[in-house]
A and B are shown apart, each in its own frame.
Chain A
Amino acid sequence: MTGFLVKRFLQALVVLFLVSIIVFVLLHMLPGGPARAILGPKGTPQQITDFNHQQGYDRSLPTQYFMYLKRLFTGDLGDSYKLNSPVFELLKQRLPKTLLLTVLSTVLAVVIAIPLGLLQAVRRGKASDYALTGLAFLLYATPVFFLGLVMIILFAQVLPVLPAEAPQGESVGELLSEFSGLVLPVVTMAFGIVAMFSRYMRSAVLDNLTEDYVRTAMAKGQSNRRIMVRHVLRNALIPLATLLGLYLPTLFSGALVVESMFNYPGMGLLFWNAAQGSDFPVLLGVTLVVGIATVIGSLLTDVLYAVLDPRIRSVA
């Protein structure tokens, strides 16, 4: 396994490096360049020239990139010119909240998707399979914000049982204490991803059911239920770890939309507000952090996969 992990870790490092380059390139694509991005629209030409010289933006690009990296390592992502606060501080505050939303809705989605996919696989070709497959596609085809809107109309307006706005607590603990406010954002986001997980489960279970080892398990005299639980489910679930890693970017994209929709105080909302106000340091800071989070997240899911799958865990 160590060979696999070392290789995977080095790959992640290379990818991280490339992510930083992409963000660096975006920084230079900004109208007016980094100076405009950091000084804001009010900066005078003189200020810009001074800033460029001071910060080394008049030097060669590789040097600039090196300096950029150096700043990154000290946690300097610039200052928001709308919120008067270092971007790093803002992110430190917001990132855990976004992770909370992502984790809760992923767990919910997986919990719904596993039995759903199993049911579809077991009832394959029957009316219920068709109905659920059709439903899954419709759900997949629904933009998350439209789904959220329908939720708000249904559960906050028609049946006013849940608040339409997320809690505004300062910390994760405070958010959790106002749990009812979390319900709609979490459920909306979970519904947005449940379709693809249940599709995966359905096909993974069907694939596994055709495997010879299932026949062996039957030949031992196990009930279908036991075969499902002890053999098929286990083998179908292990690759789910990699799938989660693969879908991390989609999850973060979903979080961006859901947070804007429900005014949830996470990184996505920060990002959205920054986009409205052209707050470039925040935009790029969030982009970089989300990229890093994705790389680390998918590295972790691959490690998890390697731990779960004995074929990788213990190569003879």
Chain B
Amino acid sequence: MTSAAPTSTPVTAPGHEEAARATPSLARRTLDVFTGNKLALTGVVLLALLLLFSYVGPLLYDTEQTHTDLSRANLSPGTEGHLLGTTDLGYDMVGRLMVAGQTSLEIGLAAGLLATLFGTVYGAVSGYFGGWVDAALMRITDAALAIPAMFLLVVVAAIITPSKGVLILVIAAVAWLSPARLVRGEALSLRNREYVQAMRMMGGGGARAVFKHIVPNAIGTVIVNCTFQIADAILYVSYLAFLGLSIPPPSADWGSMLSAGITYTQNGYWWLIFPPGIAIVLVVAAFNFIGDGLRDAFEVRLRK
């Protein structure tokens, strides 16, 4: 086996590169393609920066984020050391963005992961068993998909008072449908692959088929979809906030900050609108860039 080029130093010599490419490992090639995708790298950098901002930021930049101070409300950027001014309740905008970022990211990640997990199991069961089980399970997803997510979320949120946990559950409850359908499709085709048949020839059973062959081969799809789910979950949080259904203050997320800012559109308080809006765009785009890069990388795996 050829030894891979030392990873600590970048490969420079062309001959070296050729040798390393003779039999590149699958993981290595996947990584190569991913890092060769500029948008994907941008996504990783963006996400890292936003994570640092939200979690390390408050340690370096301490602000009052629990008690309101209406006397200092809506200060414009730059006044009295408030880099981005203050909110309508007098919180420092930058500090507020950090705290809100934590909520948005946590709800997004938790809801996205939960939806993916449940959807994957549901889809795998539906696809692997096929027949009537599949038909029944898929009609249920069809029906759930037929009611637009936003409408369902609003009704549910109108019935239950939102909290972080409730939001995660509610968003996951509408978001699992897409991974379920996707994994079901994969499972349907994977169970007929010749290597699964070959395994049955050897006397292997259903559990081995699912866990040794189907799931590992569908994992690319699942991971890619998971990043998109997280992005969508963060968007859902902001939509719910816009529709007036968010976790009540003093906690905040970027969506609720943005919808609070909308009230002041006429007053020209731009700093209440653009920072949270751009933060949402960046974090959602970052996850999408990463997902797209991963999809390319996994496709390369399957191609050769």
Mark A residues whose CB is within 8 Å of B. 11, 14-15, 18-19, 21-23, 26, 29-31, 130, 133-134, 137-138, 140-146, 149-150, 152-153, 157, 248-250, 252-253, 256-257, 260, 271-272, 275-276, 278, 280, 283-284, 286-287, 290-291, 294-295, 298
Contacts and interface: CB of A to CB of B under 8 A. Distances in A.
Interface stretch (B3-11, B60-68, B139-147, B186-194): B139-147
A141 B147 contact: no
Give the 7 A-B residue pairs with the shortest CB-CB distance, closest first: A18-B143, A141-B284, A253-B150, A141-B285, A249-B148, A252-B148, A146-B277
Interface string B256-294: 001100100100001001000100111111001100100
Contacts of B154: 256, 271-272, 275, 283
Contact of B155 (A137, A145, A287): A287
A289 to B, nearest CB: 10
B39 interface: yes
B159 A29 contact: yes
A22 B147 contact: yes
24 contacts: A19-B147, A21-B143, A23-B147, A130-B38, A130-B39, A133-B39, A137-B39, A137-B292, A141-B284, A142-B284, A143-B235, A143-B238, A249-B147, A249-B149, A252-B148, A256-B150, A256-B151, A257-B242, A275-B244, A276-B244, A286-B151, A291-B147, A294-B147, A294-B148
Given A130-B38, A276-B244, A257 B155 contact: no
Interface in B195-241: 231, 235, 238-239
Contacts of A150: 277
Contact of A26 (B155, B258, B270): B155
B145 A249 contact: yes
Contacts of B148: 248-250, 252-253, 256, 290-291, 294
Nearest to B181: A246
A143 B151 contact: no
A23 B231 CA distance: 28
A253 B259 contact: no
Contact of A141 (B142, B244, B288): B288
Given A256-B150, A260-B243, 4 more contacts: A15-B143, A143-B235, A145-B262, A275-B244
Nearest to A296: B146
A76 B159 CA distance: 23
A54 to B, nearest CB: 24
B159 A19 contact: no
A132 B154 CA distance: 33
A133 B144 CA distance: 31
A21 B139 CA distance: 13
Contacts of B265: 149, 152-153, 157
Contacts of B38: 130
A272 to B, nearest CB: 6
Contacts of A29: 159
A146 B154 CA distance: 19
A26 B151 CA distance: 12
Contacts of B95: none
Contacts of A272: 154, 243
Contact of B159 (A15, A30, A290): A30
Contact of A145 (B144, B156, B158, B242): B242
B245 interface: yes
B152 interface: yes
Most B CB atoms within 10 A — which of A22, A30, A143, A271?
Answer: A143
Nearest to A17: B143
Contacts of B147: 19, 22-23, 249, 287, 290-291, 294
B127 interface: no
Contacts of B270: 153
A298 B158 CA distance: 28
A290 B280 contact: no
Interface string B114-151: 00000000000000000000000001101111111111
Contacts of B42: 134
Contact of A134 (B39, B140, B280): B39
Nearest to A145: B242
A143 B276 CA distance: 11
B183 to A, nearest CB: 17
B117 to A, nearest CB: 22
B85 interface: no
